[in-house]
Structures are given as structure tokens and as C-alpha cells.
Amino acid sequence: MILKAGCNTSALTLVSFLFFSDFEVSAQTQPTEANQAVEKVVVLGERNEYSGSREVLAGKIVLGRAWLDRSAASTVAEALRRESSVSVNAGGKISLKGLAGYTQILLDGQVASGSINPLQMDPALIERVEIIHSASADSGAFGLAGTINVVTRNRRKALPKQLNLNGGSDGHGNRAGVNLQGGWREDTGTIFNITGSATSSQSELAGDAIWNWLDAIDTNVGSVESTVNKAASQQFSLSPSMTWKLTPNDELQLNASVSAVVDKYHNQSHLIKGPTLDNGGSRPQATQLVDENKTNYVSLDTQWRHKLVNEGTSTIRIDFTQERIEQNRDANTTWTSNLFNQLGVAETSVKNYLKGRWLVAMPNREGHRLQFALSSDIFLQKQNQSTMINRVLADGDWLGSYRADLWSWNSAAWVQDNWKVSETLDLKLGWRQEHRTNRWKSAEIQSKVGANLSAPSLNLAWKLDPEGERTITLGLARSFSNIGPAMLNPRPSIAGTSLCTSNEKCGTNDPNQADRAGNPALKYESGWGLDGSLERQFGEASQWNLRGYYRWIKDGFAWITQRENVAWAHSPRWVTRPMNVGSANAFGITLGVDTELSDWMDNAPEVNINSSLQWNHSNLSTIPGPDNRIEGQQPWSGRLGLSYKPEGKPLEIQVDLLLNPAQWWQASRDTRIYTATHKEMSAKAIWTFSPQQKLILSLQNMLSAQSKTLTLYTADRVMQKLATQRARTYLSLRFETQFE
């Protein structure tokens, strides 16, 4: 207790010193070119245009064009790895507060339809990225950990004519892609823009899996398998748009988008040694699983924008999207006893989205900028599925061919006041009300869930001095986790490599080859969140920030794997399904520092140091501890980034280090998972030939470290699985050029 109190006192003393003391740093009489280019953190009231730097506003952090350009990244996710308030897990996934499943990802303020992943978009196509650690009425009711909103470039202006080429390989996989954009403005004021992209990739990842089953007398009956995972993907998209100036105050915009995606996954494992059915065990000699997904996507978006007096606007937006998906799965298993099992699943689905929104931003009145909006969206999906077991069409209520309809209707109304109380205080007050209905229906089964959701929010940014060098932000809001209609589907998706003993009934499986099913009784997960931060600038181009959060979560849900008596088999099976797991708490702190060496010494080289340290904790009330955290959350992580520009050369070198320590995680009462320490190092060299041309050479995963995971299952019998995957250094090249 004495040691703990001493640590807390020391930490508080350090933070107080950093925040309230004036740093004595040396500065050059004439600022260097690097110092002039570095943008400061500025706290301003809510507005439509941003300076392009990193800005801290009430309720959000805005990363603009200048910040994205400096990152020299090929994807938004890669750029965000250098933002201190963002978490990066051992698999490279971006989230807030280490909670990937609770982080809402938006594209232009809406959930992206189809196969679009906003975090994988080229930063050249992006105007800014908004990081909302709390919640606000305009960002939606979902995202308990926060929201990352990716905003595409403003198509009410002509886009710059730009071409980016990407390519890379690690010897066992490669990727190539092209992204382009361009715009023209006619004398009549009509603007035509177009963006497009095409990518092709393939990869191969090898590993080992060591299985140990322990029977009642603790006899080890383990086995060893080699695994190979192959993936290939081809994607194409094209998005033209036109904007007409109807009157001096009225503007009409038409956006269209088409895309096609083909993904193919080939996973196989081979028994190296261990028991099989011949000698009383249960491991197969070989398994193979092939998934092929084809997606075609088309979208049409119409917006009418009317200017009101004093910067007010009224915007009506209608968006229609259709997505057609074909999925084919072919799985087979061979045992040394010559027993062969094959499962084939073919599924087609057509998804239709219709969204409408009316947003009014009232004129500025005495520091108040009032916004209100009404929105409604309808989702319809028709799904057809057929199952083949050992080349015979399955029948019966649970495994036979079926057709299902998925339907959801959501409506929302929200109001928000962006209130500039004074030159040093900005408030954002909001309330969002949503009604949501989800339904899943087939000939035999149907399920329906509805809810009314209320989400109040309060955010503020308070500058402690007129220059904005010391800033406090606070946020208090209620938010939820979304339930999609597919999560209500009670029909199972049979594990492809488990043994089926007849056309209708499937026999043994294990937790690593679990069936998947939905849960019609699932409740919406809700929570209150409190967020706060201290931002402190010092010197000419340096800043540090300290962030903290707390979440109170009710009816939390997670994907749980457990043994169940099911209708589609004659014996209990392992099934993974979403389940409410009771209440939860989550809290943590983050310390980030971004500094230029020139702020500390005279005649210093152009070196930037960007680092962060995160500590997170959570616990679930219905899962025994220790380590009963929310899925995916890491106890702590550290990141260090260095940038160096040699004097007189058009070159910049960036090096990034990431550390995620070893950890145990209690996934459920019967499942405990250990993940080994993960260290990652990447480097980047950026040649700037001119303001219009840039060449970027990147090395990722330079340590070529193996990833190891140990999983313990304790239901009925105890099973232990140690999985190892080998990674290689990835080399990539990117060329950017603008034509004007």
C-alpha cells in the first residue's frame, strides 16, 4: 500500500510539473524550414473548414490534410499508428482505448456500406480524420470506446489530379495497387470529379499447432499439426461525381460508386504426429478449407445544399446502395482410417440500403451554432443457402437449403449546440434519440429485436491561456453497441472440418472448429463514458498530452464458445454465438509526446520524436478473474516513432517501434488464452523530388518475429492448443505524383 501510494504521488507530481511549469528550451533566432512546416495544436470552435494540422476541439481530435501528408502512409490505418490517442494491437488493428470491438468506424459520418473499409483507403482521397473519444449527437449513438470518422475530400471543389502507385512483397506474398483522382471545373460552375482504385494481393502464412488433450487420468494424447493459410484478393472501384450550382445559394451534388471484390482463402493443416481415430484419438490426418467470396457493389448518393444567412445551411441527402454477394465454402477432412468428410456451402445474398438525412445548421447567434437532424435508413437482405454433406444435398429444418429475409429499420433525431462561450471555452451539448428494429425470418424460424435508445452528450474544450498552449477537454456521454440482423440468426454455420456422421446430423467437433450461430435473445449493450485530457504545448513545435477514460457498461456482450445441446446434432457440440455477459467496467490512461529536437538545443538536426504509452484495464462481472478483460484489450502497450531529415537533402527517414507485452485473457469460464510478447519495427524512406512527386520505400515487420498463442479449454475435458505463426519482413514501394 505504501509503495502504491508513493507511485501515485510521484505520477501526480510529474504531471503537475509538466502541465503548469514553463519549459526552458533553446530556440534559434531564425526558425528553420522544418519548424515553419510543423503545425501547432490549436483549439478552436466548431467550424466547417480546418487548417489541415492536428487540432483539438470540443469532443474530437481532427487530423487534417497537412497531418496526413506528413505521414507518407499508404492507408489511413498506417497513418493513424502515429497518433498517440490511438491503440494498435498485436495484429496491427486500429482502435480506441484498446477496444477494437467497441470502436465505431464511419465514412463521411455514416457506417460504410458493402466491402468498403475506411481505414484501408488511400490518405490522398481523404480530407481529414476525426477521432471522437467520447460521443456526440452528430457522431451517432454507437461506439462505446469512441468513433473514428474518415471524411473524404470535399467534392464541391475540383479534386487535385493525382496518381499513386503501390507495390510490395515479403517473398511469400505480394501486393500491387493504383489509386487515382482528378477534378475539373467548367466555366458554368459545374464540377466533375472522379476517383478510382484497383488492387491485387496474395499472401501465405505458415505455422504450427500443438494440441494436447488431457483425459480423466491426466494421460497426454497430444498431436502436432502444420498449418498454411493462403489468401488472394482483387478489388476495383470507381466513383464519379458532379456538382451543379443551381443558384447562388443552392447546390446539387450527385455521387455514384461501383466496385467489385473477389476474395479467396485457402487454409490447410496436416497431422505431423499424434493420435487419430485409428488409435483412440480424434485428430484428423489432414483438413482443407477453401472460401471464395464475390461482391458487387453499386451506390447512388444525391445531396441538395441550401445556404442560409450567416453561415447557416440546410442539407438533404438520399443514398441508395445495392450489394450482391456470392459465397462458396468447400471443406474436407481426411482421417487415417480412410474416413472422409466433405462439407460444401453455397450462399447468395442481395442487400439493399436506403438512407435519408436532413441536416440543418442554424446561423451563428451570439456564439451558438445549433444543428439538428432527422435520419432514417432501411436495410433489406434476401439470403439463400444450400448445404452439401459428402456431395449429398442436406435436408431437415437446420441443415437443409433455406431462404431467409433480414430486415431493419432505424430512425434517429438529434440536436446539438456548438457553443463558443468565450475565447477560451467551447461547449458541445447534444441529445440523440434512435428507434431501431431488426428482424430475421425464414420459413421455419423468425426473431425480432427492437429498442429505443437515448444518447445525451456533453463535451468541452477549455484553454487555460489565450494562446491555447494549455488545454483541458472533458466529455460525458451515453452510447451503445450495435446489433445487426445477422446476429439474430439462430441457424448454424457448420464448422467445415468437423465430422458429420449422416446427411442431417453432424458428429464431433472441438472448440477450435466450432459452429457459429446467432442469438435471438441478444440485448443492446449500453454504457456511460467519461473522458478527459490535458494538452500542453511547449517550445515552437512540441506538445504532450495525457488522456484518461472510464466506462460503465450494462448488458455487455461477447462471442462465447461453449458446448451446447443443439437441434442439428445427436451429441453436444461446440458453438460460438454472441451472448450478453453482464456488466463491465473499463478505464485507462495514455501519455503521448510529440517533440522536435530543435526545441531542446540550438543547431539541432531535424529530428522529431513521437511516442506514447497506454495502460488499459477492464473486467466482466460474470466471468471469473483474473484477466477477465473485454475481448481484445491489451493491459498496456508502448510506441516510439523517430523522423530524421538530413540537412540539404530531399529525404526523410522514419522509424517506428511497437511493443505489446505478453498477457493472459480469461475469454469465458471455460477458455483462457495466453498471447506472447509482440515486438514490431518498421522503417520508411521518403524522397521528395518536388512538391508534386514523392517516392516512399517502406520496410514492415523488420524483426520477423513469430506470434505465439496458447489456448486452454476446460469444459468436460482439458484441451491445450499452442499456435505459432511465422512472419517475414515486408518491402513496399509507393510513388505519388500530381499533374498540376
Confidence of residue 454 (pLDDT cuts 50, 70, 90): very high
103-107 sheet: strands from edge to edge? 54-57, 60-63, 126-132, 146-152, 103-107
Q: What is the pLDDT of residues 483-537, one digit of tens each?
A: 877 788 888 888 777 766 665 566 677 777 788 888 888 888 999 999 999 999 8
Assign 421 to helix, strand or coil.
coil
Q: What is the pLDDT of residues 129-169, one digit of tens each?
A: 999 998 999 998 898 999 999 999 888 889 999 999 999 99
Under 8 Å between Cβ of 682 and 655: yes
Between 200-209, 218-227, 581-590, 705-714, the lowest mean confidence (pLDDT) is in 218-227
* 107, 196, 231, 561, 592 from 674: Cα distances, Å: 34, 42, 26, 16, 28
- Quickly tell me which residue has 482483387 as its cell: 234
pLDDT for 460 beyond 80 = yes
Confidence of residue 276 (pLDDT cuts 50, 70, 90): low
Report the distance separating Cα 410 and Cα 28, nearest Å: 58
Report the distance separating Cα 596 and Cα 35, nearest Å: 8
CA dihedral 573, 714, 705, 594 (to 10 degrees): 100
Calculate mean pLDDT across residues 412-438.
Answer: 93
Under 8 Å between Cβ of 542 and 596: yes
Report the distance separating Cα 4 and Cα 321, nearest Å: 56
Nearest to 443 by CA among 487, 393, 397: 397
pLDDT of residue 161: 93
pLDDT for 552 beyond 50 = yes
Q: What is the pLDDT of residues 203-256, one digit of tens each?
A: 988 888 887 766 544 455 577 889 899 999 999 999 999 999 999 999 999 999
Nearest to 408 by CA among 368, 388, 379, 444: 379
Calculate mean pLDDT across residues 111-124.
Answer: 83
Q: What is the pLDDT of residues 336-358, one digit of tens each?
A: 767 778 888 899 999 999 999 99
Report the mean per-residue pLDDT for the chain.
Answer: 84
Between 123-127, 206-210, 556-560, 703-707, the lowest mean confidence (pLDDT) is in 703-707
- Quickly tell me which residue has 444567412 as its cell: 309
pLDDT of residue 43: 33
Under 8 Å between Cβ of 347 and 383: yes
- What are the counts of helices (DSSP H) followed by strands (DSSP E) for the chain? 4, 37
pLDDT of residue 278: 57
Confidence of residue 7 (pLDDT cuts 50, 70, 90): very low
Cis geometry, peptide bond prior to residue 31 (ω within 30 degrees of 0): no
pLDDT of residue 18: 36
Q: What is the pLDDT of residues 31-54, one digit of tens each?
A: 333 333 333 333 333 334 455 688
Nearest to 65 by CA among 48, 53, 74, 77: 53
Highest mean pLDDT among 40-44, 442-446, 475-479: 475-479
Confidence of residue 277 (pLDDT cuts 50, 70, 90): low
Report the distance separating Cα 471 and Cα 463, nearest Å: 4
Residue 652 backbone phi and psi in degrees, to 5:
-130, 135
Superfamily of the domain at 15-738? TonB-dependent receptor, beta-barrel domain (2.40.170.20)
Q: What is the pLDDT of residues 670-703, one digit of tens each?
A: 888 999 998 999 999 999 999 889 999 999 888 8
Nearest to 738 by CA among 309, 181, 245: 181
